[in-house]
Chain A
């Protein structure tokens, strides 16, 4: 079981309050992603749950048991660090065995679990190597293996993929998702990469300056962002935000329209603008359009190829049903 509840948890470093009172419930078996820009407190929150930082006030419960003042080892959680944090002087086998050795698990069972974990993570051939002889992806898998064998109530991942190159990152992303499908254990995953958040999460927690901006499934966040911050943070490329007269037409202070909900045409449309950069990806074309009189730059996603170049004039038409409206406080209307 891995139900984690945070009740009015705060964290202050000296005078600086990093996390104002915060409530959050993570259900058993959920894959929860904490996402937000750097310095938003998402790693601190994870370290509070892990027990590596003491909470300043409030309560943490794991499976309804108070865990606020338990040392990290007693919380039954396993953490995978951004830097892998492998023990460089031990072989892969010993690295994976370390938490079990600390828990006093009999050697036969240790070996069985190591073999199991190695098979799941494709590490069987590398068990006797040192971490220094492994590639980045393999090291990451060792770190995950070390977490699996503890059979924790929940896995905590602190930006585990940010040290990997782009291709490997996609592969490891899939592996972690598969692992979650197989183990059905609660996982809490911290990232600043919203693609990872969208693709892996059951539930995304968007954080800014220690405050939870919105909690919801990836598509809830995409379709109905609660405020401008979430609207701008979720989705790639970013949502176009338009203020002023055009927004007033929709009875809003600000309106937002995602690049994929704008149609581009060379002849006619609602808004006229000039192309500054067009990015041709083959499957899609991203246009960056200025001089629309709406916002500094509008980003448009056009399916397939779209033959324009720098300086050309284009016309944009928004999908009226996909316009997001926000009030003067930045909160969603309707």
Chain B
């Protein structure tokens, strides 16, 4: 009696907390990847992405300009210059010794002994003075602690999508689309017809056929890779888009048929019988009644199939990618980047986010078709 519909479940708070945890678990790495993809390699190595939105305090080592460019001013020699190109950095403090990097405030003058001085102003200009002997050799070393404003760049995306280097993923991106879109549409076309027949048409052996399709659900696809590739090669399809479309279609069909058949079998019998009395043929019933009403099931399968084929590496490597590299896909390209550019996180983060963005868009676009209440008003 506790589970009467409409009653608040006793563990409601547990459900809520779990949902929040799952959402955080999902959002955290995604946002991290997104933020990292807009940062430079230096920023990524100096601070975590979660600090990217706040001004950072960085201590950097500088040297004054070479004493060769010194100017004589009376009996002292002077070297002047500026340490920052951009004036946005705020100098918090500075120092001349590595043991005390924040000994002076900006504008103060450091006494380096025997009349040698160094002054660093707030705007980043400095003035180094001393006698002939002191202003010689290399420039004076000093340390500046400055707060940098948050800074983001589109350069990574520019490089990855439009750059001329071998890192460019735009080709792999379009290759992946070429694989994914037909590999999503073809199985839906086949499966919808099959599902209608299995749900609503009477023919001998129907139950057996359904059982067989359900049995196919549990066949691991790795088992079929080699025989299928041999078949493709022997009938002349070879490695290529056609082969990978067929492979994805084949591996996706059992689930598609099963999912759609179950959904269609749940549609009210009266509607279909009424259409039959109204004079519709099986094909017309399928096109005009079943297909529009099955939209939620079609959409959910389309989302699944799209995600699988988009994220697939194994099937693509076996059936598509050859040594020419012309048909490489995103997943394959990212694997290669991991090998060649393992340290360049900004490149990896950008590539990863480009490859994630499409499934996210597809999901948010399609989920509005996963509507409830499509049958409202049909029966009762």
A residues lining the B interface (CB < 8 Å)? 50-52, 71-73, 77-79, 81-89, 98-99, 102-103, 130-134, 136, 139, 146, 150, 163
**Also in contact, A83 and B284, with CB within 8 A (given A52-B273, A78-B277, A88-B293):** no
A72 to B275, CA, bound (A): 10
Instruction: Judge whether A102 and B377 touch: CB under 8 Å.
Output: no
Q: Which residue of chain A is the closest to B373 with respect to CB atoms?
A: A132
24 contacts between A and B (CB under 8 A): A50-B277, A52-B277, A72-B273, A78-B277, A79-B273, A81-B273, A83-B270, A83-B380, A84-B378, A84-B380, A85-B270, A85-B274, A86-B378, A88-B293, A88-B374, A88-B376, A98-B280, A99-B279, A102-B279, A103-B279, A132-B373, A132-B377, A132-B378, A133-B377
- Cβ of A148 to closest chain B Cβ, rounded Å: 13
Contacts of A150 in B (CB 8 A): 278
Q: Which residue of chain A is the closest to B272 with respect to CB atoms?
A: A85
What are the interface flags for B7-23 relative to A under an 8 Å C-beta threshold, 1 for contact and 0 otherwise? 00000000000000000
- Cβ of A332 to closest chain B Cβ, rounded Å: 39
Q: Which residue of chain A is the closest to B271 with respect to CB atoms?
A: A85
**Also in contact, A85 and B279, with CB within 8 A (given A130-B377, A132-B377):** no
**Also in contact, A72 and B276, with CB within 8 A (given A86-B378, A88-B375, A139-B377):** yes
A176 to B272, CA, bound (A): 24
Q: Does B343 contact A (CB under 8 A)?
A: no
Interchain CB contact (< 8 A) of B273 among A77, A85, A87? A85
Q: Which residue of chain B is the closest to A99 with respect to CB atoms?
A: B278
Q: Does B292 contact A (CB under 8 A)?
A: yes
Instruction: Judge whether B273 and A131 touch: CB under 8 Å.
Output: no
A81 to B268, CA, bound (A): 11
Instruction: Judge whether A102 and B280 touch: CB under 8 Å.
Output: yes
What are the interface flags for B243-261 relative to A under an 8 Å C-beta threshold, 1 for contact and 0 otherwise? 0000000000000000000
Instruction: Judge whether A73 and B273 touch: CB under 8 Å.
Output: no
CB-contacts of B337-380 with A (<8 A): 373-380
Q: Bin chain B's interface residue count.
A: 20 to 34
Contacts of A71 in B (CB 8 A): 276
Instruction: Judge whether A73 and B377 touch: CB under 8 Å.
Output: no
**Also in contact, A85 and B268, with CB within 8 A (given A78-B277, A102-B279, A102-B284):** yes
B residues lining the A interface (CB < 8 Å)? 268, 270-271, 273-280, 284, 288-289, 292-293, 373-380
**Also in contact, A73 and B284, with CB within 8 A (given A83-B270, A85-B270, A163-B380):** no
Contacts of A79 in B (CB 8 A): 273-274, 277
A130 to B374, CA, bound (A): 11
Interchain CB contact (< 8 A) of B279 among A73, A86, A87, A131? A73
Q: Which 9 A-B pairs have the closest CB atoms?
A: A132-B377, A131-B377, A132-B376, A73-B279, A83-B379, A85-B270, A88-B378, A102-B279, A99-B278
Q: Which residue of chain A is the closest to B273 with respect to CB atoms?
A: A52
A85 to B277, CA, bound (A): 11
A50 to B273, CA, bound (A): 10
**Also in contact, A89 and B277, with CB within 8 A (given A83-B268, A84-B379):** no
- Cβ of B17 to closest chain A Cβ, rounded Å: 36
Contacts of B380 in A (CB 8 A): 83-84, 136, 163
- Cβ of A236 to closest chain B Cβ, rounded Å: 26
Contacts of A102 in B (CB 8 A): 278-280, 284
Q: Which residue of chain A is the closest to B295 with respect to CB atoms?
A: A89
**Also in contact, A98 and B278, with CB within 8 A (given A83-B270, A85-B270, A132-B373):** yes
